[in-house]
Structure 1
Amino acid sequence: MIKKLTSYFGPGTFVAAAFIGPGTITICSIAGVKFGTDLIWALVLSILATIVLQNMSARIGLVTQKDLGTAMRHVVRHPVLKSILMFLVVVAIVFGNAAYEAGNISGAVMGFSVIYADTLVSIGGFQLDYLPLLIGVICFFILNMNSYKKIENVLIVLVVLMSLSFLTTAIITQPSYLALLQGVFLFNMPSESLTTVLAIVGTTIVPYNLFLHSSIVQEKWNGVKALSAAKWDSAIAIGLGGIVSIAVVVAASRLPKAELLSILDMAETLEPLYGVYAKYLLGFGFFAAGITSTLTAALAAAYVLKGCLGWKIAKSHPKFKWTWRGILFLGVFFSSLGINPIELIQIAQVSNAILLPFIAILLLAIVSNQKLMGEFKNTWLQNAVGILIVLFCLFLSFKSFFMMYSS
């Protein structure tokens, strides 16, 4: 079964596993409760933009045999500009992922608590939640296998199960398929929905995925012969991730219009309306989303540091291992102590949103570079689409910055 699944999915699964995390599920839930299916168009456009950018990233990895960080170091020649760029990328993504990791692990804990709530133990008068530590240990052993194939297999199984959980939940709620189609094609923008639209885009087009994808395609394939396979892999896996996000919006749109603060609120509302199975499906899906994002965020941080600092090392090198271990440890630490990671995550989201257009511009510059890409450089049409995405990312960047600091 797993062998058959791996023949259809590859590195694109890492990208889908990364952006379908607790943050995305929560944002999609809020979008569904507040605005019904009106904002599904924003998800569709975000997914299409993600597929385009991730395909460019994968092409860089396969054609140049360099990860995105290394390619950027090659394109940006000025030593001062190069140092500033690498510093900003490392701070925004590596430290940002440390903040996200706390949210990912807390999200996995929250999903598990929907199924089994009693995860606290008393030690010397203190109450400690052991589940973050257990999740951290599980993720540690998966990543410590140091095998792309084994990690890929784990992610494929989790992503497929997560997808089935959310799709089944959406079907159980008996949605209006006419409203679903209207949400895709009518581009409705209800009042006070701009913040949610920005959040949808920001949690789907993730900068660190661009670095991750350019690295892991080299683990799966060797050279330009795999370009077609990589293109289909990205479209299928990321498209599946988009369907999961839409399923969450659809399920949430069937709930009474109420304040939704977490997945627990959604699960508790689902149970009396659609039965206990809907609650458990949602809880498992959220748990799986937390696990997959925990794995990919830690791994992506290590790849970013490796490329941006010019480390000529393998994944088995202590520097690489201790990077993802450090990110994982920080996530477990903050989650175990019950420290609310929301402020850290907000800072990480702002820094990533500001960084995204600049990463996208450099990505376009690299895939348009004749010397690096040869006959596989961008066509004028690919550049035109890329420029439109960059302009949209700039809009997102400025809006995110001003909305964060004006609140």
Structure 2
Amino acid sequence: MKREWSKYFGPGPLIAAAFIGPGTVTVCTLAGVNFGYDLLWALGLSIITTIILQESAARIGLVTQLGLIPNIHRTIQKAGLRYFSIFLVLMAIVLGNAAYEAGNISGGSLGAELFFDLGSIRFLQLEINLMNLSIGIIALFLLYSGSYKLITRALTFLVILMSMAFLLSAMMVRPSVLDLIKGMVPTIKTDNILTIVALIGTTVVPYNLFLHSSLVIEKWKSIKDLKFVRFDTFLSVVLGGVVSMAIVIAGAAGSALEVSSASDLAKGLEPLMGSMAKYFIGFGLFAAGITSAVTAPLAGSLVITGCFGWTSNISGKPMRWSIGLILGLGLIFASLGIRPVQLITIAQLANGILLPLLSGYVIWLVNKKSIMGEFKNTIFMNVLSLMVWLITLLLGVLSVMKVLGLL
């Protein structure tokens, strides 16, 4: 019986850990501070969008027993288009993940520094924050353990604790049920459209599609396991979305007039929660940072090894060198004095270009009968998928326009 239940739980917590990073905490906090509960509906939409895309990517991985990059090699026949697609993915994911990694590490440090500050040291032109370095070392230790089981268990534990921290924070402020219901009714205004884009974009993450399609192969080998894959995906994405909503609720209830970093949320909640606000928010932010600091290099490394046809064995040299590259770049970026918001802007540009292209490829691939057989999309799923693709296209265009200063 125990073994049967264990089949229902796979890499889903890693997917949730990947999109609930410091960037998500900051965006959700700002949404709550500036718009109250009005944008909860945007997170509801992002949950549906993410479930559809992640389920498709996971189904492709399970049926083909290959990740998305090997499937690009396999299905795009024209060499020029194939190599261009792989180059675009490689550049966007590696640079984007390195930028996100810097934001993850810096954001995790903000949470930990609510408890204690390790200070910093200077090395050449870099000012190395010792808390950043500590988080990087912890992430490197987990990734170099060579065990997906250990990584999954460690991140599942942290995700559960992080979820409890944010959910308890939201419960302690006692939000009005009527106001929460009103927040699920879509409202779009000129002053909130960029926040809507940020809320959906911080949940629908391109590198999660690569991560998910590769990790399902480590857990499940038979198409008979599809029900387990779907359960794991649905539960994890919904849990992640609910946690994001809890952060919005806490932000809306706080007394902070502005939030320049997510750690300001703790100060804003002190009148409601007392000294406990520091511990709930500090740990939640730290856990969000460290879990995302593990998943970003892992996803990026799977892309790098897939692009060059190298082994994706986590203990192999190609994976270890790739993990070290992305984690190292993240630490360097975090030590250059660049604000995490600026780093995440770079990642948004990369993701804004990649997301509609990649989601379109996933939808195309999941409809190929020669690849998916009887497990290709139904007409109903295609209608939903088309709506999702239009959302990702809009997100991509708006993200690029925002970064270029056109909005």
**TM-score bracket for this pair, using the shorter chain length:** over 0.9
Q: Match for 1:395: what amino acid? A: L
Distance 1:310 1:383 in 2: 31
- How many residues get paired? 404
The reply on whether 1:347 has 2:346 as its aligned counterpart is yes
Instruction: Tell me the SS of whatever aligns to 2:139.
Output: helix
The TM-score with structure 2 as length reference comes to 0.95
Partner of 2:148: 148
Question: How far does residue 148 in structure 1 lie from its aligned partner after superposition?
Answer: 1.0
Q: Match for 2:257: what amino acid? A: A
CA offset digits 1:267-315 (Å, max 9, x no partner): 1121233211122101100000000000000000011112223224522
Is the 2:106–2:132 contact (alpha carbons within 8 Å) kept by the matching residues of 1? yes
Partner of 1:208: 207
The reply on whether 1:24 has 2:24 as its aligned counterpart is yes
Partner of 1:84: 84
Instruction: Tell me the SS of whatever aligns to 1:114.
Output: coil
The reply on whether 1:357 has 2:356 as its aligned counterpart is yes
Partner of 2:12: 12
Partner of 1:232: 231
Distance 2:174 2:37 in 1: 13
Is the 1:34–1:257 contact (alpha carbons within 8 Å) kept by the matching residues of 2? no
Question: How far does residue 362 in structure 1 lie from its aligned partner after superposition?
Answer: 0.5
Distance 2:138 2:276 in 1: 26
Change (3 A) 1:265 1:363: same
Distance 1:295 1:5 in 2: 26
Distance 1:228 1:66 in 2: 19
CA offset digits 1:97-147 (Å, max 9, x no partner): 01110000000000111222x321567999752111111111111111111
Partner of 1:278: 277
Distance 1:148 1:212 in 2: 12
Is the 1:25–1:245 contact (alpha carbons within 8 Å) kept by the matching residues of 2? yes
Partner of 2:158: 158
361-370 or 302-311, larger mean C-alpha shift? 302-311
Is the 1:86–1:309 contact (alpha carbons within 8 Å) kept by the matching residues of 2? no
Partner of 2:391: 392
127-136 or 31-40, larger mean C-alpha shift? 127-136
Q: Match for 1:25: what amino acid? A: V
Q: Match for 2:403: what amino acid? A: M
Distance 1:404 1:350 in 2: 6
Distance 2:344 2:249 in 1: 26
Distance 1:191 1:287 in 2: 33
Change (3 A) 1:210 1:276: same
Distance 2:109 2:377 in 1: 43
Question: How far does residue 332 in structure 1 lie from its aligned partner after superposition?
Answer: 2.0
Taking the TM superposition and a 5 Å limit, the aligned residue runs for 1:111-190 are 111-116=111-116, 118-121=117-120, 128-184=128-184, 186-190=185-189
Distance 2:391 2:187 in 1: 18
- Identity in percent: 45
Instruction: Tell me the SS of whatever aligns to 2:404.
Output: helix
Change (3 A) 1:131 1:406: closer
Partner of 2:289: 290
Is the 1:148–1:220 contact (alpha carbons within 8 Å) kept by the matching residues of 2? no
275-284 or 338-347, larger mean C-alpha shift? 338-347
Question: How far does residue 401 in structure 1 lie from its aligned partner after superposition?
Answer: 1.5
Q: Note the residue ranges of structure 1 that are not aligned, 5 or more in a row.
A: none
Distance 1:7 1:115 in 2: 38
Partner of 2:99: 99
Q: Match for 1:404: what amino acid? A: V
Distance 1:105 1:161 in 2: 18
Task: Give the superposed CA RMSD.
Answer: 2.1
Question: How far does residue 365 in structure 1 lie from its aligned partner after superposition?
Answer: 1.0
Instruction: Tell me the SS of whatever aligns to 1:259.
Output: coil
Question: How far does residue 340 in structure 1 lie from its aligned partner after superposition?
Answer: 2.5
Question: How far does residue 341 in structure 1 lie from its aligned partner after superposition?
Answer: 3.9
Instruction: Tell me the SS of whatever aligns to 1:339.
Output: coil
Change (3 A) 1:162 1:82: same
Q: Note the residue ranges of structure 2 that are not aligned, 5 or more in a row.
A: none
Is the 1:70–1:307 contact (alpha carbons within 8 Å) kept by the matching residues of 2? yes
Q: Match for 2:168: what amino acid? A: T
CA offset digits 1:135-169 (Å, max 9, x no partner): 11111111111111111000110000000000011
Question: How far does residue 337 in structure 1 lie from its aligned partner after superposition?
Answer: 4.7
Taking the TM superposition and a 5 Å limit, the aligned residue runs for 1:211-360 are 211-256=210-255, 258-360=257-359
Taking the TM superposition and a 5 Å limit, the aligned residue runs for 1:27-42 are 27-42=27-42
Q: Match for 1:142: what amino acid? A: L
Is the 1:106–1:132 contact (alpha carbons within 8 Å) kept by the matching residues of 2? yes
Distance 2:159 2:312 in 1: 29
Change (3 A) 1:299 1:346: same
The TM-score with structure 1 as length reference comes to 0.95
Instruction: Tell me the SS of whatever aligns to 1:115.
Output: coil
